[in-house]
Structure 1
Amino acid sequence: MLKGLYKSLAALFFSILLMTYIYFMFYQPFIQGSWSMLENVLSNWQAFNSAMIALTASVLAIYTTIYRDKKQCEREYICALAHLPLTLSSLIEYNENCAQVILRYYKDCKRNKHSKQRPFKEQTDELEPINIDKLAQCIKFASTADADHYKKIIEMIQVQNSRTKKLTVGISNVSYAMGLFDESLKLHVYLSNTFNHARNHFEAIESYRCEQKKTALLNCDIHLDTVPELHDYIQQGSATFKKIPSWKKLLTRAKLSILSYKKR
């Protein structure tokens, strides 16, 4: 936003400067004077005119370069978006495999009544680095809002891949399995909604609803009856991922500060 404001102010300043130059250098001497007066003005201000011509040429060259680079970046982004659906499909398939592994991990933890921990032998599919590279390519040419969205997806995938590699079975790990479920569902919603981005209907996701997580469960072929605790966990966690505006955070902090001061 500030970048666009600076560009507008720079364009306005240069336009005012150019109009002032044209008025006093050409319009006023010729209209209010004569042709000979115009020749005298141009002759006396040759050095200044040369500087103005050089300045105008430089501004046009800079504008042309910026415009060309912007269009090139847009074409690169369109090219990256063309490969995005295939990348998303592969990542969703990987995420659904992780969800199935987490489901079996959850059942194993429920069956294990002993406090002693043991490694969980089953492994998830390997995460293909090329899919991460494709998302990183989108970050390279995307706008700031879109780049933050892709960055969030990459972070979530890497966290999921790391946490599902080394799992230990124990009755105390049931709640941990619930957390893995919720993270997997959130990632599934992010990936599914990003398909609209490839169709030029992208909207940044600040939160996701409970219904979207239930849809993600069905897509992962997991039913709530299979995991009874998951129903309440989804209901309770439906608002935990909602992005709170910064002004509300500041207002809340101010209220807490006032209350703590009164208690003193």
Structure 2
Amino acid sequence: MSDFNIGFVIFPGLTQLDFTGPFEVLSRLATPPSLAVESPFPPSKTHVIAKTMQPVASDRGLAILPSCTFEGSPPLDLICLPGGPGIVEALADAETIDFIRREGARAKYVTSVCMGTFLLGAAGLLAGRRATTHWAYVDLLPLVGARHEKARVVRDGNLFTAGGVTSGIDFALAIVTELAGPEVAKAIQLALEYDPAPPFDAGHPDKASEAAIALMRSRNETAHADIRRALESRSSPASG
């Protein structure tokens, strides 16, 4: 049985938890917990893919070391796109978008976290599909041909899109459930002690205070406008 290749595409200015959350879950498929259950899932390999082998800095300054380049990547069975403010530059990078388009067209699973959804959209992988992204950017989904569905994780066929940042962990556990079964997913969740009990019930605008929502919108105003311009530029006749 051949390896199942999982690839995370990283780029300067990504939000590291968009990447490291699902990476922590999905990389454990390479050494799944020993359980008294049969799993048809083949051995997996996790790849961290970038344009070059140079360290990639997140939006908070954390350096991440790729394991391979676009050119050196194996064919991917699952491709995952994290988000972050760096997607504005990534959207304008033909090499990045071409790689996503090529691998996304043949992958068994096409996935994203947070604003990474827009990279899938720029690669033409969201036309007519149901999807989600960070709550502050859902109004931009029609610019990539997607229909917003209000959920933390949205599945449309082989497409899995997750909302903001921490929802990447939930999406990854959903993928593990499909690939290796619910008991393996539960064991990984337990190993991570993923049992959130935040001090405030304010993790979604349906629950947060008006003051918190206003503060977040003001902090995201510039990024929202930048992403809109980048997406509209790609869809204009001059952009080809």
Query: TM-score per shorter chain, which class?
Result: under 0.3
- Normalising by structure 2, we get a TM-score of 0.23
Structure with the largest fraction of helix: 1
Question: Which structure has the bigger radius of gyration?
Answer: 1
